Amino acid sequence: MTGRRAEETAALACTALSAALSVAAAVFSCGWATAVLASCAAACAAAAFLLALRLRQRLSGALERLWDTVGARGQGEATLPGLEKALHGMADSLARGAEEGRQRLAALDGMSQAVFATDRRLALRMANRSARSLFALEDWRGYSLLNATRSTEIEMAARAALAEGRPLAAEFSPRRGKERRRFLVSVSPMPAEGGAQEAEGVVIVIEDVTRLSRLEQVRKDFVANVSHELRTPIQLIKGFSETLLEETAAGDGDSEERARLRRFAEIIRRNAANMENLTNDLLVIASLENRDGDPSFFRGERQAQPVAAIIVEAIQSVEAQAEKKGVSIEAECPPDLVAAIHGPLVMQALINLLDNAIKYSPAKSRVKTRALEKDGSAVIEVSDKGIGIPAEHIGRVFERFYRVNRARSREAGGTGLGLSIVRHIALLHGGSAEVESHAGEGSTFRIVLPLE
């Protein structure tokens, strides 16, 4: 392009030189007045030439910058057809970007969760249809996150995600008038372009789980109410069956009719005892679920106490059952291991594990319980040499009413809730319940409780 521009400039210079020579000839061949007019014309021509040259230089520079911008340079000779082709390419790219943007917005509007996008100052950049509906926004433009959601908790979560530079998840229960809602909120920083460390903004995803929470509360209330209502008739049935057993045993003789009545009364008593255990466990589950999320549980009911004392008392609670089967229980725990726990609940969990270990261990076997400190947590283990758990059942043993061997569990008097209670107690302490087992080789159950 530079060579062609030089040729065109030279041609213009030759034209101007010819015009100047013509003017000079006119001066010598014409009179004075004509020479003056010719000189003026020549001066105007020279000025026009300089102006055109200057304008050409400016246009040429602007076109070069335009070619560089649209990418025409490097695709061949930078000509007007090349510029047109590059502009068409840019238009196609912009059209594709606009179409992709519309598709993303359509996908976001189709989500059931509310989605907000903000800049670093938490001014809204986008709000999908669910977000506008959830927070009654006619137009989100010009709103900040706080103005749109009217929730200081959500704003604080967004600021925390920006400050820490990592995704955060939280649960909030804001009150709207007389109604309390429940939101699950996830906040993720948007990385800035060019690899900058500071986030460009945040994306907030809000799921309204108010209805699910109400249904869950209805389920909890139903379990608790039914369990309470069943306790009295079950206790009556159990009491009368025990009375029948005593009367049939105290009578004279051993007639066939008396033996049959005693057998029936024993069946009633045994099943009434199983139902009583089941209702008791259901009440325990309901009580644990009602504690879930209650700050008073963590403030007032947890106290620092030696773990060894809890283990000793739990073993004493199952000693009679162990002696009846000939199972010995060994305990190992450092006396200085102290944890901030809810003593009765942890003892309940440990009794459940010991009870299972005795039930599913062979006679004259050994059950071992020990406690230790590991990675900032108190770990309580109960090990047995019983029937073990097949690998396909390991992941489900802590589910409610799940039994590896249903017939054997019912025969042993299990309710299917003992391990679920253990897991729930561990979770309430911010810990976990774990199991290691192999079929035919025994099992080891662990309760992991954070020391702090």
Q: What is the pLDDT of residues 69-109, one digit of tens each?
A: 555 444 555 555 665 666 666 666 666 656 565 666 666 66
Looking at residue 171, its amino acid is E
Separation CA 215–CA 194 (nearest Å): 47
The answer to whether 237 and 272 have CB atoms below 8 angstroms apart is yes
Separation CA 221–CA 129 (nearest Å): 35
**Mean pLDDT for the stretch of residues 144-149:** 88
Angle between helices 256-291 and 418-428 (to 10 degrees): 20
**Mean pLDDT for the stretch of residues 61-65:** 62
Separation CA 368–CA 331 (nearest Å): 6
> Quick one: pLDDT band at residue 379, thresholds 50, 70, 90?
very high
pLDDT of 35: 47
> Quick one: pLDDT band at residue 23, thresholds 50, 70, 90?
very low
Adjacent-strand bridge partners of 305: 339
Count CB neighbours of 272 within 10 A: 20
Residue 231: partners with Cβ closer than 8 Å, 6 or more residues away: 276, 279, 280, 283
Lookup: tokens for 112: 């059931």
Count CB neighbours of 375 within 10 A: 8
Residues 299-317 have pLDDT tens digits of: 556 788 899 999 999 999 8
Separation CA 382–CA 358 (nearest Å): 11
Residues 387-399 have pLDDT tens digits of: 888 888 888 888 8
Separation CA 280–CA 452 (nearest Å): 31
In angstroms and rounded to an integer, the radius of gyration of the C-alpha atoms of the chain is 43
pLDDT at 43 over 60: no
Separation CA 153–CA 417 (nearest Å): 37
Q: What phi, psi does 32 have (nearest 5°)?
A: -65, -45
268 by Cβ neighbours in 10 Å (0-12 / 13-18 / 19+) ranks as middle
The answer to whether 48 and 59 have CB atoms below 8 angstroms apart is no
pLDDT of 32: 46
